[in-house]
Amino acid sequence: MLSKINSILYSTDLSKGSQKAFGHAVYLARQTGADIHILHVVEKMSNDEKITLKTYVNDSESRREFLEERVQFAKEKLEKNKMIFGKVVFQKI
């Protein structure tokens, strides 16, 4: 007979191999009546990843405005650094 188990923490990297471990967690939960808590930890997203994700979830007009803001931000940052590094050339693509 299994010990009294109330909760099972199933930590996963979402790989194919983790499916087998999840099957074991489900089996134990059914046998004991325990709840399963799923944990998946991810690294903090970089700014580039956040920008990419934001372009996927916005509609086309919001995406265009967002990208224009990013270009303006980059130009302003380059302009500030111009005093430090010398001449900066902007070329519209």
pLDDT of residue 84: 56
Give domain limits for the chain.
7-39, 47-85
Q: Which pair of structure tokens corresponds to residue 6?
A: 């109330």
Give the contacts of 7 (CB within 8 A, at least 6 positions apart).
34, 35, 36, 37
Helix H or strand E segment including 65:
helix 60-85
| Per-residue pLDDT reduced to its tens digit, 33-90 | 999 999 988 888 888 777 777 777 777 788 788 888 888 888 888 777 665 555 555 5
C-alpha distances in Å from residue 38, one per residue of 3, 33, 43, 57, 70 = 21, 16, 17, 25, 36
Higher pLDDT, 30 or 55: 30
